[in-house]
Structure 1
Amino acid sequence: MKVTFLGAGSVEFTQGLLADLVGMLDELEVSLHDIHPERLETARGAARQIAQGRDVKIEAHLDRRRSLEGADFVINMIQVGMIDATRVDFAIPARHGLRQTIGDTIGVGGIFRALRTFPVLDAIGRDIADVCPDAWLLNYTNPMAMNVWYLNAATPVRNVVGLCHSIYWTAHDLAELVGVPYDEVSYLAAGVNHQSWMLRLQAGGEDLYPRLDEAVERDPGLLRRVRVDMYRRLGYYPTETSEHSAEYVPWYLHDPAEIERLRIPVGAYLEISEDNVRRYQATRDALRAGRPIPVEGTMEYAPQIIHSLATGTRRVVYGNVVNRGLIGNLPEGCVVEVPCVADALGVRPVAVGDLPAQCAALNRAYVNVNELTVRAALEGRPEHVRHAVMADPNAAATLTVEQIWQLCEELTAAHGDLLPEPLRGVR
């Protein structure tokens, strides 16, 4: 069983996934790829330490095609432009008065992150089609929905599923909040990545939403969370953190009073990114000094899927896949997040029917941004980049159309050659 990691220099995440795989599979071949030699060597050193004493073959390649040869699974974790591009995605919008928290999903940060990633996805797709056409591509790279949409629309990759831990951790946190062991909770969620909805939350046939209402009533501090505010108004709990959720709607980030009321951490991802760099450096330095590195399992879906496909063990996970009749009141062909059955036959999404109307309405606004961004790249139309930002709820609530146009031109110039060539033009 060969698993290739693309973007393996994302050391901490690579370590956790490897720890899971080593613990789940008796035989494993791991191929690590990154374009940064130092990060790749750090990833190889960490992998060797994690696999010590186990039947694991480890190789590392700067050449992506070599790394992909014969792969059964490809885990994609790349971040095009790294922290420098993230700083640009925050700094230029901030000068225009546009606030962001994470900036990796929709919004102007998510749009330009996608546009930087698409050319690399083109190359990955061609390589997979050439050297491992039957492999499953398990994507963790954000913006999840846009990347999975683009991979399906523009590349020859056949087996793609996008993976995110937000639904699992939301269910885990809600179980703790209502005082029920997680193992006793059953749930159904669906929507779009980072904006799915907990449609059912039960234990032993009991609806747990009334217990959640009681918990909120007991703790007024919970009312100062964006996702709780959204839940009380929409009737269904969103499956992503308040930091994320604030960016996908027009109600919060443009208003300083709402930022204060709901304690929204503007610019949070910048500190997260800086902390990731520090953690990488600590791992690198520990390995160079011959010190052990602490590694914990992840509870992520990729190792579970790999184990299920390898052994036939049936699991239900949540995946981001093309909407082909899966959610009735979201557009056909967009990318949705739904339950998926993983076993020896592959990963098969489960249809969930229609979402509550108010939830679908918010998801459709999100999907509009996705579609225009993907179309911009597929059709080589830079005006669609501007249209995507115009359609974005947070940007539209904050900026005039002329400001949006100017912002896009400045970001286009700043990211330069990282963007698809047809989209580098200005007005």
Structure 2
Amino acid sequence: MTQPLNTGKIVFLGAGSAAFGLSMYKDMFTCGELAGSTVVLVDTNAEALERMTALARRMNAVSGAGITIEHTTDRRAALPGADFVVNAVAIDRNRLWRLDFEVPKKHGVRHTLGENGGPGGLFFTLRTLPLIFDIARDIHELCPNALFINLSNPESRVVLALSRYSPIRSMGMCHGIFLARWFICQILGMAEKDVDCWGAGLNHFQWLLHIRDRATGRDLYPLLREREKDHDPAFTPLTRKLFRSFGLWPTCSDDHTGEYLPYGWEGGEHGFNFEQDARDRAGLMGHMDRVIREEIPVPEDWLQPSWGDRAIHVITGILQNSKRFVESGVVCNRGTIPNLPADLAVEVPVIADAAGVHPVSLGPLPDACARLLTVQAGVQQMAVEAAVHGSKEMALQALLLDPVINSTDAAVHILDELWEINRPYIRPCI
């Protein structure tokens, strides 16, 4: 006899995001384990929310997932009774992110994306954490047993701050390990579905401790080392330099990993392509509108599981007590990687079941790899303190700790300029 499915309530904050929303929908409406559950979509942008709600209802109907879809612009109205709160919120994302990249460059700081490391990572933290703590206080009041699953950057700093200063349960999810697998498979000449990657480290800077053939368990590192020697030298050059120097492949890409390194610009310092992103989003939303109006069918690949963030895997693992293995989650370390600080937010494999989310320890990192991450650990810890206390003095200290900063004068000029730009969002969190 088939066991009935357990049901739950999922609140999705920032559901108006086309990219995060579609990725979530692919998993939500194809997993087959959420029938009878309620999903509440929340966004302050009413137009974007209406579009994504209509798309959710269309995909729900076509897939036969049997999920109840609700929506609201009022976060507090959505939260009571929630079992899971998924967050994809960002503040004025592209405008402020562009400034996070351009202002440091103007003052002579060479960096890559300006998002999770360097000055950009600091200001992402300063403006984002006050909002995150507002959400956390609402969760603690209205649904204290809910698991907060964060999808927004800066992942490591959000989870670190909440683990230090909030009583709610939280974790982060990222698709970085799968992006690293894509790069590896281009060199190996293998399909991604045939390769397993096991990594541990920081968000956007894990070290892959195992790369194996999924069917046989064969160690693929010897083959990767051999084929990498003759591969196109222009292909992900910074990652490959680190691979040759440290002996393990780092995630997840030159631009993301490069944010944490003083020489990260060697992998390219062009920044994020905001113009292409705007074109892609406009195209995606136009496609969504045609699907919603039933002018075209729901694309077949929208009715297949996503390759990215595994939030729905965690949720169904907990709801159905299925002991679901998830390749990567951002969690508080507490000894999972024994040679990194215990209170750091690390990215490791996790298992989800009715008892919660359980980090999987792969043991200590090789000493040199751990030491490289430890440099960034101090930066992230100081940035969190600056944001939590709304302190410009601490923010300067965080900048001067960061290996991307090459001048004290530049640090002061960057701080003054970006602080004024972000002033409306910076305030003490506790």
Report the counterpart of residue 244 of structure 2 in structure 1: 232
Match of 1:23 among 27, 30, 35: 30
Provide, for residues 374-422 of structure 1, a one-character-per-residue CA deviation record: whole Å limited to 9, x for no partner.
Answer: 11133343211111112222223xxx10111111110010122111269
Asked if 1 retains the 8 angstrom alpha-carbon contact of 2:112 and 2:264, the reply is no
In the alignment, the residues of structure 1 paired with residue 10 and residue 153 of structure 2 have an alpha-carbon distance, to the nearest angstrom, of: 20
Q: Which residue of 2 aligns with 1:417?
A: 424
CA contact (8 A) 1:216 1:223 kept: no
Check whether the contact 1:2–1:73 (CA below 8 A) recurs between aligned residues: yes
What residue in structure 2 maps to residue 425 of structure 1? none
Equivalent residue for 1:303, pick from 309, 312, 320: 312
Note the 1:210-225 alignment, pairs <5 A.
210-221=222-233, 225=237
Q: Aligned partners of 1:61 and 1:48: how far apart in 2?
A: 14
Q: Which of 92, 95, 100 is the equivalent residue of 1:84?
A: 95
Provide the rounded CA distance (Å) in 1 between the counterparts of 2:314 and 2:292.
Answer: 33
- The answer for the alignment partner of 1:102 in structure 2 is 113
Residue equivalent to 2:5:
none
Deviations 1:129-150 (CA, angstroms, capped at 9, x unpaired): 1121111111111010001111
**1:156 partnered with 2:160:** no
Offset of residue 285 of structure 1: 4.7
Q: 3-state SS of the aligned residue for 1:393?
A: coil
Alignment of 1:319-358 (within 5 A): 319-358=329-368
Question: 1:297 corresponds to which letter in structure 2?
Answer: P
Which residue of 69, 93, 105 maps to 2:104?
93
| Cα distance, 1:276 vs structure 2 | 5.3
Q: TM-score normalised to the size of structure 2?
A: 0.89
Using the TM superposition, give the Cα deviation of residue 166 of structure 1 relative to its aligned residue in structure 2, in angstroms: 1.1
Q: Which residue is 1:388 aligned to?
A: 398
Q: Does 1:270 align with 2:274?
A: yes
CA deviation map 1:270-319 (0-9, x unaligned):
34543454246425653675544643532331111112112222222111
Q: Which amino acid aligns with 2:255?
A: E
Change (3 A) 1:104 1:252: closer
Residues 224 and 118 of structure 1: is their aligned pair in 2 closer, same or farther, counting only changes over 3 Å? closer
Other-structure match for 2:3: none
Q: Distance in 2 between matches of 1:333 and 1:276?
A: 38
Q: Which has the higher helix share?
A: 1
Q: Which residue, 409, 413, 417 being the options, matches 1:402?
A: 409
Which residue, out of 61, 64, 72, partners 1:52? 61
Q: Which position in structure 1 is the counterpart of 2:4? A: none
Residue in structure 1 matched with residue 200 of structure 2 by the alignment: 190
- The 2-side partners of 1:390 and 1:272 are apart by 33
Residue in structure 1 matched with residue 218 of structure 2 by the alignment: 206
Over residues 322-366 of structure 1, what are the superposed CA-to-partner deviations in whole Å (9 max), with x where a residue is unaligned? 111111111120111111111232210122332111111111111
Kept in 2: contact 1:319–1:337 (CA 8 A): yes
How many angstroms apart in 2 are the aligned matches of 1:135 and 1:283? 34
Q: Distance in 2 between matches of 1:384 and 1:252?
A: 24
Q: Percent identity?
A: 32
Q: In the superposition, relative to structure 1, how do residues 297 and 207 fare at CA in structure 2: closer, same or farther (>3 Å)?
A: closer
Range with bigger deviation, 272-281 or 34-43: 272-281
Q: Confirm whether residue 40 of structure 1 aligns to residue 49 of structure 2.
A: yes
| 1:363 match: secondary structure | helix
Q: CA deviation at 1:168?
A: 2.9
Aligned mates of 2:112, 2:264 — CA distance in 1: 11
Cα displacement string for residues 33-62 of structure 1 (whole angstroms, at most 9, x for unaligned residues): 111111111111111111125322111111
CA 1:269–1:108 in structure 2 vs 1: closer, same or farther (change >3 Å)? farther
Number of positions where the alignment pairs a residue of Structure 1 with one of Structure 2: 411
Q: Which runs of 5+ in 2 are unaligned?
A: 1-7
- Are 2:382 and 2:398, in contact at CA under 8 Å, matched by a contact in 1? yes
Distance 1:221 1:366, change over 3 A: same
- How many angstroms apart in 2 are the aligned matches of 1:199 and 1:218? 23
Match of 1:316 in 2: 325
AA at the equivalent of 1:91: E
State the AA in 2 paired with 1:228.
Answer: R
- Counterpart of 1:411, as a letter, is L
Partner of 1:329: helix, strand, or coil? Answer: coil
Match of 1:359, SS state, is helix
Deviation (angstroms), 1:202: 2.6
Between 1:38-47 and 1:266-275, the stretch displaced more is: 266-275
What does the per-residue CA deviation read over 1:233-280, in whole Å, with 9 as the maximum and x for residues that have no partner?
Answer: 111100111121222111242xxxx4xxx5x25122534543454246
* Alignment partners' CA distance in 1, 2:274 and 2:22: 22
Letter in 1 for 2:320: T
* Stretches of structure 1 lacking an aligned partner (at least 5 in a row): 423-427
Deviation at 1:192, TM superposition (A): 0.5
Question: 1:181–1:97: structure 2 CA closer, same or farther, 3 Å change rule?
Answer: same
Contact 1:148 1:162 in 2 (8 A): yes
CA contact (8 A) 1:171 1:182 kept: yes
**Over aligned residue pairs, what C-alpha RMSD do you find?**
2.3
Partner of 2:10: 3
Matched residue SS, 2:61: coil
SS of aligned partner of 2:109: coil
The verdict on how the C-alpha distance between 1:130 and 1:52 changes in structure 2, with shifts beyond 3 A counting, is: same
Whichever residue aligns with residue 207 of structure 2, its letter is W
Whether contact under 8 Å (2:399, 2:405) holds in the other structure is: yes
CA gap 1:280/1:132 in 2 versus in 1, 3 angstroms? farther
What amino acid sits opposite 1:274 in the alignment? A
Distance 1:205 1:282, change over 3 A: closer
